[in-house]
Amino acid sequence: MAGERVLVCDDDPQIRRALRLVLEEAGFTVVMTETGEEALDRAALARPHLAIVDLMLPDVHGIEVCARLREWSELPILVLSAIDEEAIKIEALQRGADDYVTKPFAPGELIARVRAALRRARRGVSEPRVEVDGLVIDVAAHAVWLDGAEVHLTPIEFSLLRVLAVNRGLLLTHSQLLIEVWGPEHADATSLLRTHIANLRRKLQPGQSPRPFIRTDSGIGYRFAV
């Protein structure tokens, strides 16, 4: 939706200029901040539709900003940081971030991630039907078709696909998927998740189809195609 407000929190003036240019060219209204406390204040006043937050801020750590925003708001939060450490990514996602992009960023990918997060926020989690590149997922009917042919999935495979699809474009960690599909007692069963993801991919990519519906963020988790 044109004019949606994006809150940016980054203390680097060059990054702020680049983000303003990229976001405004894509049709967004930008609310620019330099510190964590300023971002929290502006979020309460401006009511942005999405926030982009750096981690290394001069006052409050970006992860703390995510957590404090999440205490009172459901707005999508995208972390944009030069830190490329698995543990930091996982902590940010667990404490409120919806996605994590590393610097330097590709403008096209960033805008795609922003739009995907906004779509998900507008849809909510009850979307009954998802259609992407020949793949149709009917959540209400518990059915999947690929290029018009029904794809037979096990209950676990369908549950995985449903969670990924209704959050399409967003990075879901291993633990998030495991808790959602198997329950909290299986939060660390990463090998179990990988096995089912591999089976699901085989069914969705017959004959080595070039359409990678499920994408891997190595060591972190998975995301469904934007």
Q: Mark whether 183 and 84 lie in a shared domain.
A: no
End position of a domain, from candidates 66, 93, 123: 123
Q: Please work out, in degrees rounded to the nearest 5, the angle formed at the alpha carbon of residue 58 by the alpha carbons of 82 and 40.
A: 95
Q: Mark whether 25 and 102 lie in a shared domain.
A: yes
Q: Mark whether 103 and 150 lie in a shared domain.
A: no
pLDDT by residue, tens only, the chain of 226 residues: 457 999 999 999 999 999 999 999 999 999 999 999 999 999 988 889 999 999 999 999 999 999 999 888 888 999 999 999 988 988 998 888 988 999 999 999 899 889 888 877 776 545 578 888 888 998 878 889 998 889 998 888 998 999 898 888 888 999 889 988 888 778 888 998 999 999 999 888 766 556 789 999 888 999 998 6
Q: Mark whether 113 and 140 lie in a shared domain.
A: no
Write out the residue range of the structural domain in which residue 199 sits. 129-224
Question: What's 165's domain CATH number?
Answer: 1.10.10.10
Residue carrying the six token digits 């060591």: 219
Could you say which DSSP state residue 186 is in? G
Q: Are 83 and 41 in contact (CB under 8 A)?
A: no
Q: Mark whether 97 and 142 lie in a shared domain.
A: no
Point out which residues pair with 222 in neighbouring strands.
172, 216
- Predicted local distance difference test score (pLDDT) of residue 123: 62
Q: Mark whether 31 and 94 lie in a shared domain.
A: yes
Question: What DSSP element (H or E) covers 111?
Answer: helix 107-123
Question: What's 84's domain CATH number?
Answer: 3.40.50.2300
Half-sphere exposure of 61 (CA within 13 A, CB side): 8
Q: Mark whether 19 and 109 lie in a shared domain.
A: yes
Q: Mark whether 74 and 133 lie in a shared domain.
A: no
Q: Are 77 and 96 in contact (CB under 8 A)?
A: yes
Indicate yes or no: pTM above 0.85: no
Q: Mark whether 109 and 212 lie in a shared domain.
A: no
- Predicted local distance difference test score (pLDDT) of residue 133: 85
Residue carrying the six token digits 């891997």: 216
End position of a domain, from candidates 96, 123, 150: 123
End position of a domain, from candidates 123, 157, 185: 123
Q: Mark whether 79 and 25 lie in a shared domain.
A: yes
The Cα–Cα gap between 74 and 176 comes to 17
Q: Are 168 and 127 in contact (CB under 8 A)?
A: no
- CB crowding 2-19: b at 16 or more within 10 Å, else e: eebbbbbbbeeeebbebb
Q: Are 88 and 64 in contact (CB under 8 A)?
A: no
Closest to 156 measured CA to CA, from 197, 188, 187, 108: 197
Contacts of 8 (CB under 8 A, 6+ apart): 16, 19, 20, 23, 30, 31, 32, 33, 51, 52
- Report the number of distinct structural domains present in the chain: 2
